[in-house]
Amino acid sequence: MNDFTEDLTARLEELRAQGQLRTLVPVRHLGGTRIEVGGQRFINLAGNDYLGLATDPDLCATFYEQRQGDGQLATCGLGSTASRLMTGNTEPCAQFEEELASLYQQEAALLFNSGYHLNVGLLPALSTKEDLILADKLCHASLIDGMRLSRAKVLGYPHLDYAAIERILMRERAQHRQVCLVSESVFSMDGDCANLPELVRLKKKWGAVLYLDEAHGVGIRGAGGRGLAEEQGVLADINLLIGTCGKAYGGVGAFVVAERSIIDYLVNSARPQIFSTGLPPVTVEWLRFVLARIPLLEAKRQQVAELAERLRAALRAKGLATMGNSNIVPVLIGDATRTLSVAQQLRAQGYWVTAIRPPTVPQGSSRLRLSLNASMTWAELAPLAELIGQAVARAETTV
């Protein structure tokens, strides 16, 4: 073993001692809320399939039957052959983007291979060294990496503290050509929501651009599934609205909807778009199939919201710390090792729960992240509060 691998081994042991070592676990999806891991079956509380579409066997069967019936699957290859600026811009990609733009009543849309690709590509493409990016400090890692790659000055404001934005802009605005306000709509670890009308007010007052990552909003929020911006009535005021296809849409990829000039500029400047092979046509056909159904799934969206509200109430009744107002229900424990112990105890009870630890969340704020979807029932969730309370008590005395 050379010095390099010895150093990495030592770092891995340090992670293990801190309760922060992660490993990949093969998972088999059984449909609905169930998964199988190592021959055991669990209720899945760690996924992002918020509407239950990705694991709905009937919906998948309908997709294949419909697309085979109209002959589209027969011509859908499993690879797109190249980047989209070469020969990878297949007809399903162009059609999906047109349908997205129509759904959002916006001029254009652009599809990327993943939300991470999109966020690390857009901010560097759109900003210069004369610009300022002002972002919520709890923004996703992909946004943080995109800001790091940009040439702009980057400042963070305390989570959901819009008065802080105003103070920063009073000091900084005159020194910068453009200002980009960056926020998620639904925050992935706390499960809480941005005040989008207030962000729109600040955008207009200070002549800024509003960049909204709706990864955890599209599909699952808004009467038509267009996200929190639709729900809060500010859809037309978002300059760049980002959505993912890997969560409520039950597929893979991500998109931005915006004015045509913005999209055209990104086609020419966003490096992850320019230098990545396009998504397979069959994958994009699934996204088109799902997109047509998203506006019709209000009953599923309401069901998930009611389950989340009921679960939060049950957790609080047991004295457990939770927060947020979305279908992401965190349970704060604090210590990483104790959180890992609680998650393992819940798995022994048949619930697949993941311990969220640093660096994903700050030190001392490790938690369970309970991710609810429309395939779940209250009968499945009802025992959780009691089981978590018992597991936390045991962890505090044994870890």
Annotated catalytic residue, options 113, 114, 119, 188 = 188
Annotated catalytic residue, options 140, 176, 203, 300 = 140
Q: What angle do CA 351, 357, 361 make, to 5 degrees?
A: 120
CA distance 390 to 399: 14
Annotated catalytic residue, options 247, 327, 373, 375 = 247
CA distance 246 to 216: 10
Helices (H), the chain: 3-17, 57-69, 91-104, 115-126, 141-149, 162-172, 196-206, 228-231, 260-269, 271-274, 281-291, 298-317, 336-348, 378-381, 384-398
Residue 46 near residue 366, CB atoms below 8 Å: no
CA distance 351 to 347: 5
In the block, residue with structure tokens 């073993």: 1
Annotated catalytic residue, options 216, 237, 276, 371 = 216
| 213 noted as active-site residue | yes
| 247 noted as active-site residue | yes
| 107 noted as active-site residue | no
CA distance 181 to 157: 10
Beta bridge partners of 210: 181
Annotated catalytic residue, options 97, 184, 230, 237 = 184
**Amino acid of residue 339:** T
Annotated catalytic residue, options 131, 190, 213, 237 = 213
CA distance 180 to 199: 11
Q: Can you tell me whether residue 156 is helix, strand or coil?
A: strand
In this structure, the strands spanning 179-184 and 240-244 are unpaired
Annotated catalytic residue, options 48, 341, 373, 375 = 48
Catalytic residue ranges: 48, 140, 184, 188, 213, 216, 247
